[in-house]
Structure 1
Amino acid sequence: MTVVVPSFNQGRFLHDALGSIFQQDIPVEVFVLDGGSTDNTQEVIQRWEHRLAGWRSHRDDGQAAAINEGIAKGSAPYVCWLNSDDWFLPGGLPRLVRDLESHPQAPMVYGRALNVVDGSERRYPVWVEPFSKRRMALRCIISQPATLIRRSVWNAVGGANGKLHMAMDYDLWWRIYKQFGTPWFSDEFIAVNRVHAETKTNTQRARHYREAIDVVRRHYGSVPLKWWLAQPYAVWFKSIRPY
């Protein structure tokens, strides 16, 4: 399995992310793609260097481009990425592999994930549910850290859209579904999404919302009313009270 870890100035989280990957009971090739961090990221990478399949640290064209670069370096039949501030739960990756191998018709598999608020004990499930085109048009029902994709499918759809910086995962799920069919849903908790003040979702809410609406319009053909009704809460209120 190829696991790519894109990172930028998140050295304080990176150790946990890498540790969670190597604790999985499954062979992995891990690539860290750092955007030229100025914190302690390189120190953390060097601590794990003997376990990594490769790494680099320099300015790049953004998260999606880094993910594409890392996956292209690998050769394993299944691929995924883990943002440097997230982590896998024990046994999460083997569960996804088993589900993909048990359902050869599925282009990808996804499971459940937890949101954990950094610096507190607050945790709550991410909104994830079995796949439905209609439900997918209302909100992203797939949590990126809890996903695994066949490399053949990744290559066929061209990977992540490098023109997107906020909703590249939402766009990718749509493109995989439209070209290869319904993803398989694994009803188990796979990963943890760390919620903190510096995430792009919190610092660039308006941009995130605009990109997501554009993705829905492009792939679904229209934008459900829900998006417009939820916008004041999702963008303005959540920017004041992000958690």
Structure 2
Amino acid sequence: MSLLNKLPSAGQKRGWPWDEEVKDDIYSSKTQWPKISIVTPSYNQGEFIEETIRSILLQNYPNLEYIIIDGGSKDDTVEIIKKYEKWITFWVSEKDKGQANAINKGIYKCTGEIFNWINSDDYLAPNALANIAEAFKSGYTIAGKVYNFYDNDPEFKDIVENKALTSNRFISLKSTFHQPGIWCDLNNIKATSKFQENSSYYFDRIFFTTYFVKFKKVIYNDQVLVHFRYHENSKTLVIRDSHADELIEFYNQLLENPLFRSFKKEIKSALKYQLLPEKHIGDWEYKNAHKNVGSRLSSYLGLMFRKPELIQSRHFFTKLKRSVLQNLT
């Protein structure tokens, strides 16, 4: 049933998902569609969450379960949610322990066949749920494309295609993984574990490390399913500047975990060639960020002599090119 004319007015906003919707006749090909459960964790994202909500509801998907777990927002998030609560399966706004905790609380409420969480600053692409449901098979994971964008840079275009999500390549950090494009059998999610609530940034990768060991069947979808927003407070931008300590600790723990006994080679490779170099280079960046170009170059080359293993990592040369040498031109 068409929702566009029933939802609150979008005012002067135009385009998807403001004055456009997925035509409901797209679902006429069959009478039974798998139930899709979507959780939106949110906290003080009133600037963006209405776009998220509308992009999900205006899929006009005939078997949708939509849950919003808000962490007690102080902005206008709750006011916006209340505008749409007639079409939301369940929502709550209360203090929580962070994003992973919110997702775990949402999963507890989910009863569908297909699951993903969509953050309150991202939004679904048109026809996303139809594409996911058409491709879905019980026990499988759907891996689609994600469109990254900046609101203040319309020229920026970056489509990420999830690739090579086998357990060994995922553990060795040689796959391409972008969470919003990963849609899972809810039973597989519940059988894996809870999302690690003491993880600030990498709880999704930590969770899926175990997930892809246990559940190996992946269907790759060539459609853009989600638009992923970069902005000043985006966690992804914060992660880019972090020292990867969470993942280093997690990977060291994996070496002692019996489930990952056959992946020790991949674990050690990820530590040696990616995670530890990222940490060393990140530490260097923090200490030398305010030095002049000559001092930075001298210090960076000195890092190579102090830690010669870094030259085996692509991160050493990427940082040299992007953050040191480009300032010489």
TM-score by length of 1: 0.86
Larger radius of gyration: 2
- Unmatched segments (≥5 aa) in structure 1: none
| Matched AA of 1:165 | S
**Equivalence for 1:124:** 158
Quote the residue 1:3 is aligned against: 38
> Which residue does the alignment assign to 1:70?
106
1:189 matched to 2:237? The reply is no
Distance 1:132 1:83 in 2: 25
Query: Aligned ranges for residues 68-147 of structure 1 at < 5 Å?
Result: 68-101=104-137, 104-106=138-140, 108-121=141-154, 122-126=156-160, 128-136=162-170, 137-138=172-173, 141-147=176-182
Residue pair 1:88, 1:145 contacting (<8 A) in 2 also: no
Aligned-pair CA distance for 1:174: 1.4
Look up the match of 2:318.
Answer: none
Secondary structure of 2:145 counterpart: strand
Work out whether residues 130 and 185 of structure 1, in 8 Å CA contact, stay in contact via their aligned partners in 2. no
- The 8 Å contact of residues 205 and 235 in structure 1, kept in 2 or not, is answered as no
Amino acid at match of 1:15: E
- Mapped to 2, the partners of 1:97 and 1:25 lie a distance apart of 13
SS in 2 for 1:12: coil
1:224–1:118 Cα change, 3 Å: farther
Structure 1 residue 134, shift from structure 2 partner: 4.7
TM-score (norm 2): 0.65
Segments of 5+ residues of structure 2 without an aligned counterpart are: 1-35, 255-259, 261-265, 291-321, 323-329
Shift of 1:206: 5.2
- CA distance change for structure 1 residues 144 and 68 in 2, over 3 Å: closer, same or farther? same
Kindly, what percent of the aligned residue pairs are identical? 25
Q: What residue number does 1:225 align with?
A: 273
SS of equivalent to 2:53: helix
Question: Aligned pair 1:51/2:84, yes or no?
Answer: no
The 1:50–1:79 alpha-carbon spacing in structure 2 relative to 1, beyond 3 Å, is same
- Separation of aligned partners in 2, 1:230 and 1:163: 21
1:71-91 Cα distance to aligned partner (Å, 9 max, x none): 211211111100000111011
More moved, 36-45 vs 138-147? 138-147
Instruction: Please give the per-residue CA displacement for 1:52-106, whole angstroms capped at 9, x wherever unaligned.
Output: 01111111011111101112112111111000001110111221222222xx452
- Greater relative contact order: 1 or 2 (C-alpha under 8 angstroms, separation 6 or more)? 1
Partner of residue 37, structure 1: 73
Residue 148 of structure 1: CA displacement?
1.1
Letter paired with 1:130: A
Which piece of structure 1 moves more, 62-71 or 24-33? Answer: 24-33
Q: Which amino acid aligns with 1:84?
A: S
Deviations 1:149-193 (A, max 9, x none): 111111111232222221111122211111122432222211111
